[in-house]
Structure 1
């Protein structure tokens, strides 16, 4: 691999890592499922694959189309706000009932429900399109054609590495979360964060 291709790979990896390594709705969901050790591999692979599809679409030119379809941004914003509100309220309800907080007694969800939840956190978040489709798409599309593939490969690698670390690294926190009080704090934090994000998304969608 030439220096230019290595540089493009590193640029894609660094940009993707900088955008996704943040505590957001999707990451909190992956973390919680990792703590429960439930459907971690399918969730990690889904998140990485979704990022891959969006990054490729962005570099291929979809970002410019989204930029001129304001109705789509409004729909995504309001849909995301509704979903985050529901999930935030659910987290606060879990925090209010200690019997539902210990790891062994966590209510399990099916693989289908886990993937559906992951999809909602991924595709109902307008920021994912700004980050992957528009921003990464713009950077990738600005590169020479021969450097776009390693750029996308680096970006996808960063996404997979992050979600795998988040999902499987969560098990090292299991001793802490064997106490109901720790789950209460986590669910309270998740609930407040989701409702705050929901308000922010709704306000942004309605004012832009």
Structure 2
């Protein structure tokens, strides 16, 4: 991933927090048919390995679990908040007009070799963990045990598990750190006026990340 130093995020806890907040990762592998990519919801087990281990399941009908090269890294892309940034929000537009549109975003890319797991007990633990996390905030959380056991057992036969021990992880938070304070204030204000959750979240990131060290721009 292209990584200008001022956008780079190497804090593992921050990277993990984005994965947990946006668990639908894009799983990318290389197989005999070429590159394959599928959106898959992952559970992160931070204690399973030094950089964390990603656990998920695929439909047995999804050929990606069979057609991949196990000696090569898989890539999982977790997309966090992202928004278009209009130059109309910049103070610099009114000062000299030398501005262009851009896109702000936060993203994590995790690399590691993919292992296929065809074990009903492992799969039950994985879907239970994933469901419990996603249902936790609901007033009356649904859990896997609410479904009849024979039905759950039948569903497990239609999926296979995958596990990726992360061996390399990159974070990138491109949130207007390369703009002047006046431009950043304009971006945050413009985003909040949009009144949607994604824009408000991005405004908070722009405020929190601030300027480059020493007030540099690039």
TM-score higher than 0.5 here? no
TM-score when scaled to structure 1?
Answer: 0.23
